[in-house]
Amino acid sequence: MHLNLSECYRKLGDLDSAREHLERAQATIHVLGDDEYGQMIKKGLEQVADRLR
């Protein structure tokens, strides 16, 4: 959820909110497994982080 919110806020130009949700997602990413879904979410987090730099 936080990944999607981060990307939506980024697209809206609210970069502070985008970074806040990105940080929340990164803080909880450890609970995901190393399966395809977990890898997809981790890659999405990396992509959003790159876009916010």
Q: Could you read off the pLDDT of 10-31 as tens digits, one per residue?
A: 999 999 999 999 999 999 999 9
Residue 17: predicted pLDDT: 98
Q: How far is C-alpha 51 from the geometric centre of its chain's CA atoms?
A: 10
pLDDT at 25: 96
The pTM of the full predicted model, rounded to 2 decimals, is: 0.88
Domain boundaries, given as residue ranges, for the chain = 2-52
Rounded to 5°, angle at Cα 7 from 50 and 53: 25
What's the pLDDT score for residue 52?
A: 96
| Average pLDDT across the chain, whole number | 96
**Mean pLDDT to the nearest integer, 30-52:** 96
Q: Mean pLDDT across the stretch 24-53?
A: 96
